[in-house]
Amino acid sequence: MKELFFSLIRSSIGRKCLMAVTGLGAIGFLIVHMGGNLFIFRGQDQINSYAHHLHSLPFLPVLEVSLFALFAAHIILSIVVTLQNQNARPIRYAVNASAGASNLSSSTMIYSGIAILAFIAFHIWHMKFSHSAHVDEYIKVTSILGHPIITIGYILGILAVGLHLFHGANSAFQSLGLRYPKFDYIVEVGGRVCALTITFGFISIPVYVWFVLRGG
């Protein structure tokens, strides 16, 4: 296992595969995280009970450290792979900028990635450290998302996540060599649907808190 890891890290294809696997792991986390937070639509007791169950998991610290390692690995690998691509092709081809496969999402991956990193730092500070641990989850989330500037910050951060995933979800399958002409369409549409579901699922929360719970 250790040898497989080091041989992957040493090769450029291996690093792309690890970047894809860590990216898919982060998508898995986002789906679970979104699902949990959507309990807010079922009311105060439901979201508090979800948070209570989450916080009582005996292996939660292990999950949190693994999640941190997953995001850190994805970020480090993406920096290494970007530098490696730039060194391999120092002069950008003029035609590349308008290549058919290129779109807003694929050409802004590095910028959306930086925006997500800033959002996650802002978000973790808010959700984990800005309130006492005894504050009810519902009160915490609704009071944080009840501020217009913060609501806008959340929507922009989530849009950056959506933009990143719109290309990233498909690209991960490509890096892992899991795209066959026969299933290409399914992977492509599946990736887009996944990106849009995560984006609109998360955006519905600040919109609901702002317009419905707090009356706009």
Binding mask 59-88 for ligand HEM (x = CB under 6 A): -----x--x---------------------
Q: What is the DSSP string of 141-207?
A: HHHHTTSHHHHHHHHHHHHHHHHHHHHHHHHHHHHTT---TTTHHHHHHHHHHHHHHHHHHHHHHHH
Assess 206 for contact with ligand HEM (CB under 6 A): yes
Q: Does 123 bind ligand HEM (CB under 6 A)?
A: yes
Task: Quote the least distance from Cβ 121 to ligand HEM, whole Å.
Answer: 10
Choosing from 138, 166, 173, 202, the residue that interacts with ligand HEM (CB under 6 A) is: 202
Binding test (CB under 6 A) with ligand HEM, winner from 20, 77, 141, 163: 141
Give residues with Cβ within 8 angstroms of 162, minimum separation 6: 195, 196, 198, 199
Tell which positions 155-184 bind ligand HEM, by CB under 6 A: 158, 161
Identify which of residues 178 and 193 has a Cβ nearer to ligand HEM in the complex: 193
User: According to CB under 6 A, which one of 154, 166, 173, 210 is a site residue for ligand HEM?
Assistant: 154
Contact set for ligand HEM, span 25-44 (CB under 6 A): 30, 33, 37
Q: How far apart are CA 88 and CA 32, in angstroms?
A: 37
* Residue type for position 171: S
Helix spans in 38-108 (H): 44-55, 60-88, 104-107
Q: Are 34 and 201 in contact (CB under 8 A)?
A: yes
Residues that bind ligand HEM (CB under 6 A): 30, 33, 37, 51, 64, 67, 116, 120, 123-124, 127-128, 141, 154, 158, 161, 202, 205-206
